[in-house]
Structure 1
Amino acid sequence: MSLLTVTNLGKSFGGVKAVDGISFDLHAGELLALIGPNGAGKSTTFNMVNGQLTADVGSIKFDGKELVGLKPREIWRLGVGRTFQIAETFSSLTVVENVQMALLSADRKLFSMWRPASAHKREEALALLDQVGMAAQADRPCSVLAYGDVKRVELAIAMANKPKLLLMDEPTAGMAPKERNELMALTKKLVTERNMAVLFTEHSMDVVFAYADRMIVLARGRLIAGGAPKDIRDHPKVQEVYFGTGKTFEKEKTSREIA
């Protein structure tokens, strides 16, 4: 049974159909990449799953529950985590305090008269940081971290509500190649250990082909292809939409490396 099932999903802005009747599913323990050229409808789709936008038509079922019409906070409490293209942390707080804030929210607690917030689930926060390789920097302020480390902290924060599904919007944006691979390898490890599902958007094709179990490709709001990376790589329609000349992704990657 699918953990996430999207059926005939559609969203228009004025007379423009940003997403036009797309359907796909996602299983536990799977990384699914949502790719497409600029204006394909990726962000609109992503934001409908997360509840930031409400679908005009269609269904989004997570673990059997309909998500359309729910607010992002309600969806988060069902077990859907999210990271953002631009990492979002409280720079004035320490690394561990950022994770503790997420744990407070997951527990639906704001404060306690008898116990300072800084003491709330510190050990659990440290355990999450250990999983992402950031326990040694727990008491440093987020403002002094390298960007790649901030992304790791954001991942720990996203894991605070024990998500069954993690939505990652351009997770490696702004990162160097080594950092990109380290973050995605870590994500893959967490997916296996927690039997969690990941839906991610990504412009870096080397990341997509290295780590995605399956891919779905959008163009002008419609789903044009879906399948394993090896099936998508040389798909004629995908090649046409991305490059217009029939060049393969490998050739494009080589061109980028030469540039």
Structure 2
Amino acid sequence: MTALLQVKNLGKSFGGVKAVDGITFELAAGELLALIGPNGAGKSTTFNMVNGQLRADQGSIRFDGHELVGQKPRSIWRLGVGRTFQIAETFASLTVAENVQMALLSHDARLYSMWRRAADHKRDKALALLEQVGMKAQADRPCSELAYGDVKRVELAIAMANDPKLLLMDEPTAGMAPKERNSLMALTKELVIQRGLAVLFTEHSMDVVFAYADRMIVLARGRLIAQGKPLEIRDDPKVQAVYFGTGKTFEKAQEHA
């Protein structure tokens, strides 16, 4: 399978401390790849370098033939990289549909102004995106009225507005109840299959990781210590020791997730 995203020897330091230390991994279209590790492992730094919010000190990030190191987040977004955040980001005063239409306006490089309301721009496409995430029936409700799980679905529709090939999801199920988070990740898996998306996601809930990830990469103290399929990672002694500490297993972590 040809890699859509190729990360090679990626590194980033802050004040002499190596937050990410020479990591290498690949991600193919149609694949869900989980990036996991304990607090301080370098997950967020890696994510932010792929997205362009941080510039790498060393290494390369190749996406669909383009080098991403040195590019701004907006330029990376326009190349076909979508992103959702740990805390959902929507305009609470706008309707569900208008939130998606604002993203479509941005993608088309058109300015929001008093002469051209977001509500007039590509409503049909916005509704189609909302239908994919199960939110079309609530298109005309203000986002401020939605349950948190539904806000996360709207955010997913917004992230799909640029027809991405790669979707970055930072703690997608944070703050959600088990039923909500499984519903959101099942929806994401469906989009991966239907659209051939590549998805890189960070996640603390091990039940989500093992249920939906095709492969996993594990960081500890900025270094990549393991990568492979979920069952391989579960049984890796080094991962057990470094990620969870002495005496704790993935099974126990899942019981308390």
User: Same fold, TM exceeding 0.5?
Assistant: yes
SS of equivalent to 2:48: helix
What's the CA shift for 1:242?
A: 2.1
* Residue in structure 1 matched with residue 31 of structure 2 by the alignment: 30
Equivalence map 1:154-193=2 (5 Å): 154-193=155-194
**For residues 114 and 101 of structure 1, what CA distance do their matches in structure 2 show?**
14
Q: What amino acid does structure 2 have at the position aligned with 1:93?
A: L
Once structures 1 and 2 are overlaid, which stretch shifts more, 198-207 or 244-253?
A: 244-253
Corresponding position of 2:123: 122
Measured in 2, the distance between the counterparts of 1:124 and 1:202 equals: 30
| Residue in 1 that maps onto 2:253 | 252
Give the match's secondary structure for 1:3: strand
Matching residue's letter, 1:248: T
Alpha-carbon distance in 1 for matches of 2:11, 2:243? 23
Match of 2:64 in 1: 63
Partner of 2:15: 14
User: Could you tell me whether the CA contact under 8 Å between 1:34 and 1:42 is conserved in 2?
Assistant: yes
Change (3 A) 1:114 1:39: closer
Deviation, 1:119, is 1.5
Q: What amino acid sits opposite 2:51 in the alignment?
A: N
Superposed, which structure 2 residues align to 1:49-88 within 5 Å? Answer: 49-88=50-89
1:214 maps to what in 2?
215
> For the residues of structure 1 that align with 2:70 and 2:112, how far apart are their CA atoms?
30
CA–CA distance in structure 2, aligned partners of residues 161 and 244 of structure 1: 41
Give the whole-Å Cα distance in 2 for the aligned partners of 1:207 and 1:140: 29
Gaps of 5+ in 1: none
TM superposition score normalised by structure 1: 0.96
Per the alignment, residue 229 of structure 2 pairs with: 228
* Percent of pairs with identical residues: 82
SS of the residue 2:3 aligns to: coil
- State the one-letter code of the partner of 2:14: F
Q: Distance in 2 between matches of 1:96 and 1:205?
A: 33
Question: In 2, distance between residues paired with 1:111 and 1:252?
Answer: 47
SS in 2 for 1:96: helix
Deviation string 1:4-48 (CA, Å, 9 cap, x unpaired) is 000000000011000000000000000000000000000000000
Residues 209, 229 of structure 1: 8 Å contact kept = yes
RMSD between superposed Cα atoms in Å: 1.3
Q: Unaligned stretches of 5+ in structure 2?
A: none
Q: Is contact 2:181-2:208 (8 Å) kept?
A: yes
- TM-score, normalising length: structure 2: 0.97
Q: Which amino acid aligns with 2:79?
A: L
In structure 2, C-alpha distance between the alignment counterparts of 1:171 and 1:113, rounded to whole Å: 34
Amino acid at match of 1:217: V
Q: Give the number of equivalent residue pairs.
A: 256
Instruction: For residues 129-176 of structure 1, give each alpha carbon's deviation from its aligned partner in whole angstroms, at most 9, with x where no partner exists.
Output: 010000011000001100000000000000000000000000000000
CA distance in 2, matches of 1:126, 1:166: 20
- Displacement after TM superposition at 1:112 (Å): 7.5
- Aligned-pair CA distance for 1:114: 7.2
Give distance in 2, aligned partners of 1:64 and 1:232.
30
